[in-house]
Every structure is written in structure tokens, then in C-alpha cells.
Amino acid sequence: MATLPSSSPSPTGSPPPGEPAAGLPDRGAPVEQVLAEVAGLCADDHDYRDGTVFNSICSTPLPVAERVFAAHQQANLGDNRIFPSLARAEREVTAMLADLMDGPGATGVATSGGTEANLLAVQAAVRRHRARFGPDAPARILLGDSAHFSFDKIAALLPVEVVRVPSDERLRVDLDRLLPLVTPETALVVATAGSSESGAVDDVPAIAAHAAPLGVPVHVDAATGGFLVPFARESGEPLPPIGFSVPGVTSVTLDPHKYGGAPIPAGHVLFRDAEDGAALRTSSHYRGTFDHQALLGTRPGGAVLATWAALRAQGRSGYRSAVAELWERRALLVRLLTGAGFQVAPEPELTVVTVRHPSPEKLVDALEERGLIASVARRLGLLRLVVHWHQSEQQLRCLVAVLTEVDGGRP
Ligand SMILES: *Cc1c(COP(=O)(O)O)cnc(C)c1O
């Protein structure tokens, strides 16, 4: 069916072969020229607001967050002597996020995103496991097939043995297969609160209830769902609690740059027990400079200030109404898709809507030819559409109209 334009990334995921990039120019160029060149460089990019983006869990930041970010680009969280404000801002963001996750006493570290946050959670678990079982104790980590692929990177970096557990028919980790694998020697169990492929939320309370009596820590990867689940639960959605109100949850990843209104790069990891955060400490070589807990050294303080601003500007009421609106749009999208004869399955839990189709790749290619970006969850063989606050009702109607038009494969 549709052939991809040559500039598109290949469906296998490797970048396309391009013209070789030029070297560093001998002479600098005037500002206006550079700006025009940058505009040219970015000419193919989509704007979240133009109604073509249906694959992204990230979106435009809130205007206040954009302004704060732009005004604090030099802010370096790695230097508390030049920027004493930043440690304070990080502490206050931690406190606000901890409150969101029902863990008022939790400690935390601002990160570049969910990947680094998950890495720190695993690193803390490994260090504590080794403190308990000895420096050579193998650190086995259990996670669902639906867990994010950041854990594949983490497994390549840290001395852990990762055991992946298949999903059930709702695409959550299959408890019947996971729970028997948890033993007192397990270093960590990871639960996903909103898989990025399907939005499936693992049964965090059941996992933690099983792991806690065995002394096994539970990390909740709520990079997708952290700003969604608490507010959806308030309005009666049948979702489990995912935060520290669940006994046995020891750490949580959040991604303010997804549904939190913060700019990229803004992630966060929270720890119930301060000892976990302490296990991450690396002492600085410089007098008066705080120990580091994050992976990065020079760190984007502007993102932390912008996250602080987004949290302050939204408050619970702002996120509550944003989530209510997302749920309305999701309902509309599901209604439109079903009305057009598409099979939405499994039933969406968060903002990812998946559609069963005999050839989702062809559908997505055909959409792309018309300028619309959707995605295929390759491991699941499902068309994947992400509802976000950059889309209007009209744009969702347009998406389904185009999908219907390009879907030659159906009777
Ligand atoms: C996005 C995401 C991550 C990775 O976060 P980045 O910010 O992309 O590094 C991890 N886990 C889940 C569930 C995610 O949705």
C-alpha cells in the first residue's frame, strides 16, 4: 500500500541513510542567517497544536513553564553554590510530587526523565540489596513484559538480572506468573502504572501486598500515569492506587514532561525511605558542593524551576480538570472509532487507545502520507493512538475520518 517517503525513519527503527553532514564551518555566520538555517533544519517538524500528532505522551509545556524555562537556561543543579535556589526548588518539587503520590515524607531526585528516574530506582535497590546480602549477591529484578524499554537499557548498565513476566489479556503483568517468582532474595519488583504502549496499569496493591511481607521493594513506574491515575481515581475510574498509600511501594517514577505540563527534560524519582536516596550518594570532589544523587552532573535547573511553576500553576484543580477533559476526549475517540467499525481493544485504562487491525503498519503509513502521526505498538501488533491536551475534538474527528478513508483493508 503506502510507500514511505525517503525522509521517514524506517519502520525497523533505524535512521534512514542521509547525506553526510557538513563539518564545522571555518567562519561563523550572522545571527539572522543562523536563525533562518535553524528554521530550515526544523521545517519538517510537526507542531503539537496543528492537529497531526496522535502518538506522543509528551506535549507542549504550560505557558508559565515555558517562560520560566526560557528565563533559567543557565541554571545548573550541579552547582549549589552558584544556584542555591535550585536545591530548594528540587526539594519543593519533591514535596509536591510526594503529596501527589500520597507519601508526604518521601525524598526524591529530579532527573532528565523517566529513564534516569528508573535507573536511579534500580541502582538504589541494587545497592541496598548488596548491603543486605553481600557485595556479590546477584540482584534479580522482576518486571512485566509491558514495562518500558528503559529497563532494557538499565539492565545493560547495572549489575542486575532482569526477569520479564508475560502480560495477561488486559496487557497488565500477569500476577499468576509474577507472584510465585518473588522470593526474599529478589532485589526489586517493578510495577508499571500506565504502560506507554497501551496505558495498562498493573495491579500495584496486589503486587506490593505479596512483595512487602517478603521484604522485597516495589518500584512503580508511573512515568505515564503519575499525573493521570490520582485524578481519574477521584472521579471514580476503576484504577488501583499507585503511590505510597499502598504499603510496600518503596519508590515511584514520575515524568512531569508527559502529563505534568513541564518542558523536557523533567523526570523525578521518589523514595519512601530516605535510605534509598542515601544509597545513591556520590561525594563531590569540591568543597561546599553537595553530594550527587542523580546520574547527570551538570543538570538542567531550568527544567526543575519550570516543573515547580507548572505544579504551582496547575494545582490539584488544574490537573483534575485537565484529566477530566482528556477522559472526555478519549471517550469521544473511542466512540468515533467504534462508530466507524474499528475494534478498540483492550479497553483503554489511561490515554492510550489501541485498535486491533489486520495491518496496523499500513494504516499508520497511510496516515503518515497524509501528514498525521500515529503509531504501532510493534510487540502487541496494535494501532496505538495517544490522547493528549494538544488535540481538539475537531482534530480527533478529522483523525478518524482520515483513518476511515485510508482503511482499504476492511469490508
Ligand atoms: C516515557 C516512559 C519512560 C521513559 O521516560 P523518558 O522520560 O522518556 O526517559 C519510562 N516508563 C514509562 C512507563 C514511560 O511512559
Give pLDDT tens digits for 106-149.
Answer: 999 999 999 999 999 999 999 999 999 999 999 999 999 999 99
Task: Starting at the earlier edge strand, list the strands of the sheet with 375-377.
Answer: 343-344, 352-356, 382-386, 375-377
Mutate to test the pocket of ligand 1, among 224, 257, 264, 268 (most ligand atoms within 8 A of CB): 224
Q: In this structure, are residues 195 and 223 in contact, taking their beta carbons and an 8 Å threshold?
A: no
Q: How far is the CA of 227 from the centre of ligand 1 (A)?
A: 13
Residues 191-238 have pLDDT tens digits of: 999 999 999 999 999 999 999 999 999 999 999 999 999 999 999 999
Fold of 64-313: Aspartate Aminotransferase; domain 2 (3.40.640)
Ligand 1 atom closest to Cα of residue 194: 13
Q: How far is the CA of 197 from the centre of ligand 1 (A)?
A: 11
Q: How far is the CA of 330 from the centre of ligand 1 (A)?
A: 21
Domain borders along the chain are 33-62+315-408, 64-313
Task: Say which residues have a Cβ less than 8 Å from residue 63's Cβ, sequence separation at least 6.
Answer: none
Q: Is the pLDDT of residue 4 over 50?
A: no
Residues 293-321 have pLDDT tens digits of: 999 999 999 999 999 999 999 999 999 99
pLDDT value at position 7? Answer: 44
- Protein residue whose Cα sits closest to atom 14 of ligand 1: 223
The 8 Å CB, 24+ separation contacts for 155-164 are 157/119, 158/119, 158/122, 158/123, 158/126, 159/126, 160/122, 160/126, 160/187
Give the predicted TM-score (pTM) of the model: 0.95
Q: Is the pLDDT of residue 22 over 90?
A: no
Q: Can you identify the CATH homologous superfamily of domain 33-62+315-408?
A: Aspartate Aminotransferase, domain 1 (3.90.1150.10)
Ligand 1 atom closest to Cα of residue 192: 13
Pocket lined around ligand 1, Cβ cut-off 6 Å: 57, 113-115, 118, 148, 150, 192, 194-196, 221, 223-224, 255, 267
Q: How far is the CA of 191 from the centre of ligand 1 (A)?
A: 13
Topology alike, domains 33-62+315-408 and 64-313: no
Cell digits of residue 134: 553481600
Q: In this structure, are residues 197 and 173 in contact, taking their beta carbons and an 8 Å threshold?
A: no
Q: In this structure, are residues 384 and 354 in contact, taking their beta carbons and an 8 Å threshold?
A: yes
Ligand 1 atom closest to Cα of residue 224: 15
DSSP string, 295-307: S-SS-BHHHHHHH
